[in-house]
Structure 1
Amino acid sequence: MASPQIPFYNPKIPFTGSIHGGLQNGTAINISGRVPSFADRFHVNLQCGSGTNADVAFHFNPRYSFFSCVVTNTFQHGNWGVEERKDNSVLQSDMTFTLLITVTQSCYQVIINGCHFMDYRHRIPFNRVDTIAVVGDVEITSISFQNPMFPGHGFPAQPGFPAQPGFPAQPGFPAQPGYSFPNFTQPTFPSCPVFPHQPVIPAQPGFPSSMFAVPYKTSINGGLKPGKTITIHGNVHPNANRFLLNLSYSSGVALHYNPRFDENTVVRNTKQGSNWGSEERTGGMPFHRGQPFMLTIHCDNHNFKILVNGVQTHTYRYRVTPLRNIQTLEIEGDISLSSVMV
């Protein structure tokens, strides 16, 4: 039986990596990163191989010069197909993002920061896709995979593959440096710094050294702001009772996120001074004992949007503002951690 796909953390851009076993109906790819302020464009390709002329089943191409749009297309038999364009109001420059691409029987479903963005109908059978490539003006913190045979995440980091030779240029899209394509300009993409790894706290006895120790605490540099995303990979203990995540400020807890397996619910609340507010409990229990998970918290203008394994499960309206005062992340309880990206 095939093993679960290992995530890529902080890959160097341009990046090409293998999708182990290829895509299946239900496969979800979650890409977390940041678009820098100087961005002109970048693309994510789901490809059939890694060669120079490999077919590209899904080309996802945000562009920022002149006007902001997302171009999608397919490259097949040496030619680009008909472009599909969509106004880009969510994947903005100088902001962090989470991009979730889910394979369905008929299309690639694209969700950005927890909101449905578009569906792209298959032009090439998705089971031919075995490679993912990211090129251009973007910083990537993680690329993780959820296979229907192996739900969840939380596996050790895998280094990125060396960049493959450039892909044929789409009309209007600069080719990668070092290759000659007639009639297209070939500027070199600016070098993009990747996010540094979070410091690893010494592991607790009985856990591998690659794990983050629990209880875990870290500072949020500059505090939170709209567009900020926090991504956590971990594993729920087989006999877990509860765990919690706190986003704290100087005099309390702005977001207390508390999955309780003994009550089969997730409690959300805020603590101001010594006083707790009213609990929120709707939305179900997306975590499972003994199972890995990816927890994403995205800050929009009014709410924390909370995604588990790429699916939005809870929304919690801000009770503490300004967000920049929220400067501490704490995690404790019956879980192990493999990655915390703030």
Structure 2
Amino acid sequence: MADNMLCSDFKDFGGNILAVPFSGTIKHGLKPGMKITIMGIIRKNADNVRVSLTCGSSSTADVALLLEACFQAGTLSRSAMLAGSWSPSELAIPYFPLTPEQPFRLDISCEHQRFKVVVDRQFICDFSHKVLSLSRVNTLKISGNLNITKIS
């Protein structure tokens, strides 16, 4: 994703860590061809990490993608919420890609029919769009046991 697509004051961190939980606006919403890159380090004794793409910052906003890594279970679930109802979680992955105390790079690519999730340059999973008007998806939220070093 181009740097100017995220509207916040986090273009260049200069090695600083971003506060978690994090919420940032995606200028003009998502569209096919955009990519969000999150770099950071998983904390020691991590329980979970959550990344969501939502239609606004409200706690009741539709969620186009909730990506949740659960370290104890070794799962990376994907789901969406429309009008207050969650879709069934998708769990299939070739391996669990995150390790406590290790840096990571997470890329979420928005394609015409799906989100594609890549960790450390390895394809992990995809998730078909449930929110069909991608321009409504205008907020990135990150929470859990991690330190964020870069978002672009």
For Structure 1 versus Structure 2, the TM-score category normalised by the shorter chain is 0.7 to 0.9
CA contact (8 A) 2:116 2:127 kept: yes
Take 1:329 and 1:242, find their aligned partners in 2: how far apart are those partners? 17
Aligned to 1:210: 16
Residue type at the aligned position of 2:102 = Q
1:321 partner amino acid: L
Identity %: 28
Question: In structure 2, do the counterparts of structure 1 residues 294 and 317 end up closer, same or farther at CA, with 3 Å as the change threshold?
Answer: same
Alignment of 1:229 with 2:35, yes or no, is yes
The corresponding residue for 1:290 is: 101
* 2:71 is the alignment partner of 1:265: no
2:28–2:135 Cα contact (<8 Å) kept: yes
Q: Distance in 2 between matches of 1:223 and 1:245?
A: 16
How many Å separate the matches in 1 of 2:72 and 2:127?
A: 22
Q: Aligned partners of 1:273, 1:262: CA distance in 2, in Å? A: 30
1:50-199 map, 5 Å:
198-199=8-9
Shift of 1:225: 0.3
Q: Is the 8 A contact 1:255 1:270 kept in 2?
A: yes
- Partner of 1:332, secondary structure, is strand
2:58 pairs with 1:247: no
Distance apart, 1:320 and its partner CA = 0.7
Alpha-carbon offset, residue 196 of structure 1: 8.8
Alpha-carbon deviations, 1:33-83, whole Å to 9, x = none? Answer: 66xxxxxxxxxxxxxxxxxxxxxxxxxxxxxxxxxxxxxxxxxxxxxxxxx
Paired amino acid for 2:105: M
TM-score (norm 1): 0.40
The answer to whether the aligner puts 1:326 opposite 2:137 as a matched pair is: yes
Give the drift of 1:238: 1.4
Corresponding residue number in structure 2 for 1:276: 86
Aligned counterpart in structure 2 of residue 220 of structure 1, from 18, 26, 29: 26
- Tell me, in whole angstroms, the C-alpha distance in 1 between the residues paired with 2:80 and 2:6: 30
Instruction: Extract structure 1 runs of 4+ deviating beyond 3 A.
Output: 194-198
| Counterpart residue identity of residue 330, structure 1 | K
1:335 — aligned with what?
146
Deviations 1:169-221 (A, max 9, x none): xxxxxxxxxxxxxxxxxxxxxxxxx8899514xxxxxxxx8111000000000
The counterpart of 1:316, out of the listed 115, 122, 127, is 127
Aligned to 1:133: none
Conserved in 1, the CA contact under 8 Å of 2:7 and 2:27? Answer: no
Max radius of gyration: which structure? Answer: 1
* TM-score, scaled relative to structure 2: 0.87
Secondary structure, aligned partner of 2:44: coil
Gaps of 5+ in 2: none
* Contact in 2 for aligned 1:198/1:340 (Cα 8 Å): no
In 1, Cα distance between equivalents of 2:5 and 2:72: 37
Higher relative contact order (CA 8 A, sep 6+): 2
Cα deviations by residue, 1:241-272 (Å, 9 ceiling, x for unpaired): 10100100143211000000011010100111
Q: Is the 8 A contact 2:5 2:27 kept in 1?
A: no
- Residue 334 of structure 1 aligns with an amino acid whose one-letter code is N
User: What RMSD in Å do the two structures reach over aligned CA positions?
Assistant: 2.2
Q: Which residue pairs with 1:302 in the alignment?
A: 113
